[in-house]
Amino acid sequence: MRDNVYVATPQYIYSFDLTAWGWVHLLLGVLAIVAGFAVLKGQTWARVVGIVMACLCMTANFLFIPHYPTARY
């Protein structure tokens, strides 16, 4: 599958399918929302899950930097 992007760095350390990466972002976002609602309901396990989800989302966004449409290199 060939994905179209606005800007892509030609020689980045890793490459991946952008459709799959979109699903990864969607899944992480849904899990973060579920953990957020659990925190609001007072679930103690949700605090740890929320911190882990924040770290995973931060890492996922960092790895996606070369494919942002506004990125300039």
What residue segments make up the domains of the chain, in order of their start? 18-67
Residue 27: pLDDT over 70: yes
Q: Which two tokens stand for residue 32?
A: 């973060």
pTM listed for this prediction: 0.66
State the average pLDDT over residues 8-23.
69
pLDDT of the residue at 24:
84
pLDDT of the residue at 60:
83
pLDDT of the residue at 15:
65
Per-residue pLDDT of 30-43, as tens digits, reads 998 999 999 999 99
Q: How far apart are CA 56 and CA 66, in angstroms?
A: 18
Could you count the other beta carbons within 10 Å of the beta carbon of residue 53?
Answer: 19
